[in-house]
């Protein structure tokens, strides 16, 4: 079964971007496992704002070779050159996908999409790259949830830059 993986960078105080969405504070001196990670991925899922922010940052969409699903209430059912817009309960959306053969699914973000997937216990793996920085404010990685979720630590990597990458798996039996 395809795994759903959250691969995301954040500040030590849990922000994925500044309040205006900017990520200029992210380390760019290395790939921090990204190249290996993206090779395992066939499908990307992200929120509309994340998608638009990504398009705004790049000249060419970097994931042409993969399937991109963008969660959007207003554009659901349509597609553009890179992505297919979808909506609806996330479980209904991803359960059929998970059971087709192929590479894993990257849950790109942002916060609301992460919250919706978490609430359904749909994130199998968490690869979190904590930057050695307290941003002070911004867009949080984890929005409030109604229930605790237990994780199992799989790996800890510390890089010379001070970035710490923590890898967790969802504990079967918890939400």
Cβ 121 to a second copy shortest distance, Å = 11
Number of Cβ atoms within 10 Å of the Cβ of 9:
22
Count of positions (residues) in the chain? 175
Nearer CB in complex with a second copy: 85/130: 130
> Which residues of the shown chain bind a second copy in the complex (CB under 8 A)?
11-14, 25, 118, 128, 130, 132-137, 141-142, 144-153, 156, 158, 162-164, 166, 168
Element (H, E) at 123: none
Cβ 128 to a second copy shortest distance, Å = 8
Nearer CB in complex with a second copy: 13/112: 13
Among residues 122, 128, 127, the alpha carbon closest in space to that of 149 is found at 122
Cβ 27 to a second copy shortest distance, Å = 12
Report the DSSP pairing between strands 104-109 and 41-47: parallel
Nearer CB in complex with a second copy: 64/146: 146
Cβ 166 to a second copy shortest distance, Å = 6
Report the DSSP pairing between strands 41-47 and 125-131: unpaired
Distance, in Å, from the CA atom of 67 to the CA atom of 64, rounded to the nearest integer, reads 8
Nearer CB in complex with a second copy: 51/168: 168
């Amino acid at each position: 079964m395809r795994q759903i993986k959250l691969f995301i960078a954040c500040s030590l105080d849990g922000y994925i971007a500044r309040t205006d969405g900017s990520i200029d504070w992210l380390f760019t001196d290395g790939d921090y496992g990204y190249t290996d990670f993206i090779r395992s991925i066939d499908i990307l899922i992200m929120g509309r704002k994340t998608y638009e922010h990504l398009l705004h940052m790049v000249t060419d969409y970097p994931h042409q070779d993969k399937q991109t699903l963008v969660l959007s209430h207003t554009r659901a059912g349509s597609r553009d050159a890179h992505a297919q817009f979808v909506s609806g309960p996330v479980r209904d959306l991803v359960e059929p996908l998970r059971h087709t053969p192929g590479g894993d699914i990257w849950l790109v973000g942002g916060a609301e999409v992460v919250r919706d997937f978490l609430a359904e216990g749909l994130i199998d793996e968490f690869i979190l790259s904590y930057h050695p920085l307290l941003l002070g404010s911004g867009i949080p990685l984890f929005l409030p949830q109604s229930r605790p979720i237990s994780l199992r630590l799989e790996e800890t990597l510390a890089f010379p830059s001070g970035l710490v990458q923590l890898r967790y798996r969802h504990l079967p039996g918890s939400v």
